[in-house]
Structures are given as structure tokens and as C-alpha cells.
Copies of this chain bind each other. A is one copy, B any other.
Amino acid sequence: MTKVSMAHGAGGRSMQRLLRERVLPHLLTDKGEVPLSALDDSGVIDDIVMTTDSHTVKPLFFPGGDIGSLSVAGTVNDISVMGATPIALSLAMVIEEGMEADDLEKIARSIGRTANKAGVPIITGDTKVVERGAVDKLILNTSAFGKRSPALDANLAIVAKHRTIHSRWLEDRNVADGDVIIVSGTLGDHGVAILSARKGYGFDADVVSDIAPLNGMIVRALAVGGIAAMKDPTRGGLANTLNEFSEKSKVGIEIEEEKIPIRQAVRSACNLLGIDPLEIGNEGKAVMAVVPGKADDVLAALRATPEGREAAIIGKAMKSVRGVVMRTRVGGRRIVEAPIADPVPRIC
């Protein structure tokens, strides 16, 4: 009999196969404007956007954040990248018996601080305590719903000047030939911060997680207009995000290695560990596909925000390309595949 393996949880191809073969066929996957079968950041029905995330990060505390800030920011971002305004969060905690109440309180404080920063209240919750060994200290689930962002219609109207659009939301399937690919900042910080907090890795990178709620930054970018698709490159990193764009939109994407913003400390840590920085998760970044005429303005709007200071144009969608390809520093071309398994498990 098949058993679920760690690779099935990595957000890449193995997981997609497990879901498509064993889980999705039994669910009502075609309901809603953005249904479950889209496997997008959020679902949409009745003009309400909804998302959910369970967090099992290890360790619970790490440079730049903890499981609490991670949960809230990740969930706020999943709503925001659809082009919606997050309205409320839920918080469900599964706590291992014996957890220090002080640690729980520290995490609660971080949850509150992040929710406050995002301006999104937690309006409902659930608490379970399980016997020792039944979970690894703490699992959090945050879910959220959001409503259509006031700027979204005007934003999409600009996209519609260039081509026919098939969705009222910033879905992964909206990317088209010529769209400019923008990342809102440096890549790999979160994954490396988690690794540096784990014992036994023999390096002490000066890297902190990029955890941040991005709803404020995204509103500014939407106000400029011309954004066709947006996604936060969490599990599977930029490599996974661009492959989702490419597969769902049926268009190739070419990026340039030298334009991708990566901190030197992240690059060094990845070299040391043999990890591809494009494949590790981020928790405070967005990747956008923008119509060519608006790319510079969107970039400028992003750079004017604290979260988007290091935003960069890294490439474009091209129908002449198959899949996702990177032009390397030395002038070669490398195929960027969606990671099959997670180079760094349990980073979120």
C-alpha cells in the first residue's frame, strides 16, 4: 500500500499528484468562481475570498519571527494576492500537553502584533490540547476571508486593454505573453532563517525571516493597475510559483539570474548546504505578472513601501519559451523546475 511521504508535503509535484489522485476526486471541486480545483492561494465563492493554512514550523521561534507571526502573515497574504482585502482571521491551536504557558503567551503576543500590523482582527478560534507526543508542541491553523479590493476592477480594466481576461481575480492562470515578472524583494530569507535556528547546521547566517503581512503593499500596487496575476512564493519558492503561473496560464516564463534579488548571506548559506535559493520558501514576498506598460510604475509603487523596497523586475512571460527558463550569469540557460520535494521541510 502507498504511504504518504515527506515529499508529498512539499507543495510540489508529489503533493499535487497525491491530492489529484486521492483527495480531490472525492470533493466538490468545481464550486465557486475560483474553485478548489484551481489549487490557487485562495478560493472564491459569492464574491468572498477564503483561505486556510496549517503551520507546523520547527522550531517555533526563529530569527525574525515565530509560528504566530508566520501564520497570520501567510494567511493575510494568501487573501491579498488574489486581489482581495482581508477582513477577518480565525485561529485554531492544537497544543501538546506540557507546553510552557509562557511560550504560548509569547506566540499569542506575536499573533496579536502581526494581526494588528495587518489591520485584520481574529474573530473566532478553537483550542485543543493533546497528550504528550500527539503533536510536536504546537500546530496553528489560521484561516481568513476577504472581500474584493476596491482597486481591483480598475486594475483589471488596464489589463483588459491589452487582452481578453477570463477572471475577475488575480489568478495564476491570468499570465500572458509579454507580461513582466516582478518580485517584491529578496528571496530565500525565511527558509535560511529557519535553518539557522535549527541545531547542527554548523553555520550562523546573519539572516532573519522576511515574515510580513503584505496587504498594505499590495493595495499600493493595485492602485497603479495592470497586474494580471499575483502569488506569494512560500513552499517551493519562486521556482514553484513561476511554474504554477506557466502551467496554469499555458505560457513560458524567462527570468534572468542576475536580476533576482538574493542577499549575500542567503546565497552563501544555500551554497554551503547545496540548496537552490529559488526553491525555498518566503513569507513576506509577492510575485506579480504585470502588463508591460505598467511594470515600471508598479515597481516604483512597490519600492515606495517598506516591504517592497528591494522589488525588482526579473523577467517576462514569453510564448516562445517552454516552461520556466533562467538565463544564468554566465550566459547559459537553465530550466527551472517545480521542486519535487522540499529542500527544507517544515519551514511553515
Knowing A45-B123, A127-B9, say if A54 contacts B141 (CB, 8 Å): yes
The prevalent SS among residues of A at the interface is: mixed
CA separation between A42 and B92, bound complex, in Å? 12
A86-127 to B contact mask, C-beta < 8 Å, 1/0: 011011111111111110110011011101100001111111
**Residues of chain B with a CB closer than 8 A to A102's CB:** 1-2
How many copies the complex holds: the figure is 2
Which of A's residues lie within 8 Å of B, judged by CB?
Answer: 1-10, 15, 18-19, 22-29, 31-32, 34-36, 42-46, 48, 50-56, 58, 87-88, 90-102, 104-105, 108-109, 111-113, 115-116, 121-131, 133-136, 139, 141, 143, 145, 147, 345-346
Asked if B50 contacts A4 (CB within 8 A), the reply is: no
* Closest Cβ neighbor of A95 among chain B residues: B4
- Is A1 within 8 A of B54, CB to CB? no
Q: Give 27 pairs: A residue, B residue, CB < 8 Å, sorted on A.
A: A1-B101, A2-B101, A4-B95, A5-B97, A7-B129, A8-B95, A9-B97, A22-B108, A23-B104, A26-B105, A26-B113, A28-B112, A28-B121, A31-B123, A32-B121, A36-B121, A36-B124, A43-B88, A45-B123, A46-B87, A50-B124, A50-B143, A52-B141, A54-B128, A92-B143, A94-B139, A135-B136
